[in-house]
Amino acid sequence: MTKEIQGDLILTENTTFEENLIVHGDIRCENGIWNINAYDIKAWNISYYAVVFAYNSFKCESVNGRRKNSKHFCLDKEIEFKGRKYGLVEK
């Protein structure tokens, strides 16, 4: 299954997606200490507090943690940093 979101995704709590996550915009964790995990992640820019990870694939333009020792990673593959013109979804 795939969860597809049009526009930006703003999270206000720790969030786990049990499916692929495609966001036609940015992912932002706001107003707290929130983290993200999903099977696959595909988005433009990702802003999070401490941890964001994907199990299978992770594609984005940029990913930025606000905590000093924050971590972002993909368990099965390297993170692919690509721009919109290279295949990431448009808004």
Q: What are phi and psi of 84, to 5 degrees?
A: -55, -35
pLDDT band at 83 (very low <50, low <70, confident <90, very high): confident
pLDDT band at 91 (very low <50, low <70, confident <90, very high): very low
Candidates 23, 16, 26, 57; CA nearest to 40 is 57
In a domain, residue 10? The reply is yes
- Domain extent at residue 40: 2-81
Mean pLDDT calculated for residue range 25-50: 89
> Across all residues in the chain, what is the average pLDDT?
87
Task: Report the domain count for the chain.
Answer: 1
Q: 63-77 burial string, b = 16+ CB within 10 Å, else e?
A: bebeeeeeebebeee
With a cut of 90, say whether residue 63 has pLDDT above it: yes
In a domain, residue 77? The reply is yes
In a domain, residue 87? The reply is no
In a domain, residue 62? The reply is yes
